[in-house]
Structure 1
Amino acid sequence: MQDMRRRDLASRGITLAVGTVIVSSLLGASERTDEQERADPTGIEFFERRIRPILIEHCLECHGEDPEVIKGNLDLSTAAGVLAGGDSGPSVVPGDPDASPLHLAVTYADKEFAMPPRGRMPAEAIEDLRRWIEMGAPDPRTGAAVAAEIESDPWRDPRGQGREHWAYRPMAILDPPAVDEEGWCRTEIDRFVLARLESAGIEPAPTADRRTLARRAYFDLIGLPPT
């Protein structure tokens, strides 16, 4: 009788151990699948090319550009912030744009929560956001390394530091700078070039002769020297 009990207990122990291993394997596979989806190169490329510029242009001014003033407690400058949402709950339901408040806001489905408030986004941007959410909202903005990389790149900086880059500044008419070698300049653009050279203590290269110019043209056009 005792032998039967021992065998029964042993059998139950083996069953429990096997079940634990199976469940752990399934959970591990699920976690790996989630990580793979988040790291999907196609999704990440789509985010970088299409979604990040939308967030920077239309959203981060109120939802992440200034950490001290984030409206509705909704921070869209990080992946965690997008999923956590704000006062109204999560802003995105990965895979379901129709259940995602962010998508509903940009479509102006609810006038009370229509975003951005200054006017509706272009239709292409709205469609890109919908597609991104359908893809599972892939977002690489996690971890200190990624944040440091973004902050060092003025084209991807979500917190506004990149706005100091010349490409983000409004166009303006500038007076050509004064230069020492006036005779070197043929156009007003030359004055800007020469001013930078002079500030760096660099002498401009001498004027090339016709033979040198022809040689350069060959290299530019066909990549080979003249024969």
Structure 2
Amino acid sequence: MTDVAVRLVGFGSPEGDDTPSQVLSKAAKRGASVRLATDSHDSELDHIDQGAIDWREYLEGTHWLVISASTSLAGDSARSAWGASMTFAELEGSKTVMIVDSPEDSERLTEVWGNTIERIRQIHVLFVTRGALSEISQLEGVTEQDLLQEIRQRGLVPHVCGFVEPNMVQVEHSLGSFKISTDASISEMSWLAGFICELPYSGVGPEGINSAAEAAGIAD
């Protein structure tokens, strides 16, 4: 990776126990500059004051905004801030990474997926976790093997990816599709962190995307 640090901003639980926080932690170990966005009171998600989040200050000069679909269920304030984060990311030139994860209440998966679909055109990298992949494939009536490609084609998301088998990640992009093996020690969030840290500097075209995916799957 280049000597210029990739900059990431995450929005999620201030306790650091959710998927955006995991990605930030893994990215920091790779040398990225990371910040977790919150309001001026460091409020919990369900009491966050959207108007007190300075999104422009957080996102200026940032490569990636990292958020999760399940954050949209944390309350009206959290959902408003979740949506605003993507809008400001577009304005500031940051690209959104959406992690589609399974909510604690599995009965609300349809709501999580619906919230994601509403924002699909604002997403640059969509990562579907293993648990969510199985559940969404049933919702959409598409096999797990075809779901990622279906999402990319229907949503026109530049990059759609996820682990389709243990230690096997599938990446769908506008120029093609591939699967690549990862080291057994690489978790889903570790791979995603590596992928978005490598992607800005891995080169253009399919070769660059493949190179970033390969590098992300190699253990330190």
Pair member with larger Rg: 1
Larger helix proportion of the pair: 1
Query: TM tier, shorter chain?
Result: under 0.3
More RCO (CA 8 Å, sep 6+): 2
Give the TM-score normalised by the residue count of structure 1: 0.23
